[in-house]
Structure formats: structure tokens, C-alpha cells
Structure 1
């Protein structure tokens, strides 16, 4: 199967939003064909620390979602995420993808 991935969209979000965001991504098969998710910890301006543990540690529990995408699908997906999730604690970045392949 030929893939036309040209970019990587990374979403950084509070752990509490994980299931809602994953449901949203799975409801958009025309733009998202799959993704990876990893636990992370965040530190910085604009980040709240809701739990006592996070306040003591000074870091917030986060999730990073990595999506390989065709460039044409990025803006429609971002618009749908923006409409659904109005959180200053959700961030994203886009990087070019040099190469993608499988070991099969």
C-alpha cells in the first residue's frame, strides 16, 4: 500500500483530554489513518497543575499524539480540533516528514 505522508502533526494535551481527543481522531478517517500516543510530562507557561502530585513535582501529566499525514489533510483536521476543543493547554506542531517506510 502506497502512503502519501508528507508531514507529522504532533498534538500535546492534558492527560484528562486523552479519550475525548482519541475519539475525535477516530471519527475523522478521511484525514487520520492512524496515530501513536505516548505519555509525557509538560512544564512551561500556560500549563495548569491540577493534581497535588503535579503541583509538588512542578510538571503536568500530558499525552503526545503523533499523526503522519498528507499536507492537504492537516488544516481540515486542525479546524475540527479547534472547533471541538477550546483549551489553551492543547498545543500542536507540524514538521516535515523526510521518509516513511515499513520493515516488511
Structure 2
């Protein structure tokens, strides 16, 4: 199996205000992202920009996390598309290898 076809998890973390547009972008590319998982998460720490009084009081920011099992090649293609649309939007990503995945049937 080549590195480009090896399974990976593409994780994206974005501010809540970017969530809908980024998810819509993924849905526009069912060939690259036929399915993915989202969940609400919170950002903590010095590098997190707090938006509004509620976040300042709580000391944490609302974010969305998207996780998608795909190939390395598809992840790189998706990242290129997302860079065109979301550069400067504080979208973070990482790619991790998958040792195994499947469906319990």
C-alpha cells in the first residue's frame, strides 16, 4: 500500500462561526468526503482568541471538530480546497495514521 493510499484521519478544528461554511464545503465534495463526524469542542489556552463576552467570562472558545477517515491523497486534496476558502479563518488541522478501521457487522 503506497503512502498516498494509506488510511489516515484528517482532523479539522475551527471556530464556531466558520463551521457551517466549512461543512458545506466538505459536502460539496462527496468524492473526497463521503462521510465525516462533527462535534462541538472548546478551545483553551493563550493561543485561543475569545469571541464575545460570554467566552471571555468562561475563559474558553466554542469550536467545531471534524474527523474524517480517508486516504492521505484525498486529505491533501481536501486541505488544498479548504486553504483556498478558509485561509485566515483560524482553521487548524492534523493528519494521523490509522492502524485499522472498519464496521462491526
Whether these two folds match at TM > 0.5 is: yes
CA contact (8 A) 2:18 2:89 kept: no
Distance 2:55 2:73 in 1: 38
Is residue 80 from structure 1 mapped to residue 81 from structure 2 by the alignment? yes
Gaps of 5+ in 2: none
CA contact (8 A) 2:13 2:66 kept: yes
TM-score normalised per structure 1 = 0.89
Q: How many residues align?
A: 101
Q: Which has the higher helix share?
A: 2
Is residue 59 from structure 1 mapped to residue 60 from structure 2 by the alignment? yes
* CA deviations over 1:60-87 (Å, ceiling 9, x no partner): 0001000111111111110100000022
Note closer, same or farther for the CA distance 1:44–1:88 as it changes in structure 2 (3 Å cut): farther
Note closer, same or farther for the CA distance 1:21–1:88 as it changes in structure 2 (3 Å cut): closer
Runs of 4+ in 1 over 6 A off after TM superposition: none
Q: How large is the RMSD of aligned CA atoms in angstroms? A: 1.5
Is residue 96 from structure 1 mapped to residue 97 from structure 2 by the alignment? yes
Gaps of 5+ in 1: none
Distance 1:88 1:19 in 2: 13
Matched residue SS, 1:40? strand
2:18 counterpart residue number: 17
CA contact (8 A) 2:35 2:68 kept: yes
